[in-house]
Structure 1
């Protein structure tokens, strides 16, 4: 399943390691260091700083997203919702 994370970026949900609120970046030296190191390796996909609401960490890249953690979580859980709808239609359609 794919997740649209904003700014025309679409990633595979299976690659998502974590989705973190952007406000936590300044309060965690570990997150700051990880992003600093990944920037050196050109593995950070950034958006305009004043629009960033969430940080999406995948196996290969770190994305700065203008969407909130809540919105991204809903999009990531859409597969579960679709599966439930499919299960329901199979049960009622028999």
Structure 2
């Protein structure tokens, strides 16, 4: 299954490690450091230059998406998996 992150960007749900609200970017020093290193190493992809609401960590890249983390989680089926447990 693929998850549409906005624009013309889609990723395989198997590659997704985590989906975060953009507010998490400021929450912890370790998160800020991770994103800084990812950007320095060229692993960051900004889907929409105008607005980002979430970021998605995959095993290859970090995507900043204009779509909310809740919507992306629904698209990925993460919430359904949690409800079944």
Which bracket does the TM-score occupy, shorter chain normalised?
0.7 to 0.9
For 1:56 and 1:19, the matched residues in 2 are separated by 5
Secondary structure of 2:17 counterpart: strand
The alignment yields a C-alpha RMSD, in angstroms, of 1.6
Q: Going by fraction, where is strand more abundant, 1 or 2?
A: 2
**Runs of 4+ in structure 1 displaced over 3 angstroms?**
none
What runs of 5+ residues in structure 1 fail to find an aligned partner? 81-94
Secondary structure of 2:26 counterpart: coil
Match of 2:31 in 1: 31
Provide the aligned length of Structure 1 versus Structure 2. Answer: 78
For 1:60 and 1:16, the matched residues in 2 are separated by 9
TM-score normalised over the length of structure 2? 0.84
Q: Going by fraction, where is helix more abundant, 1 or 2?
A: 1
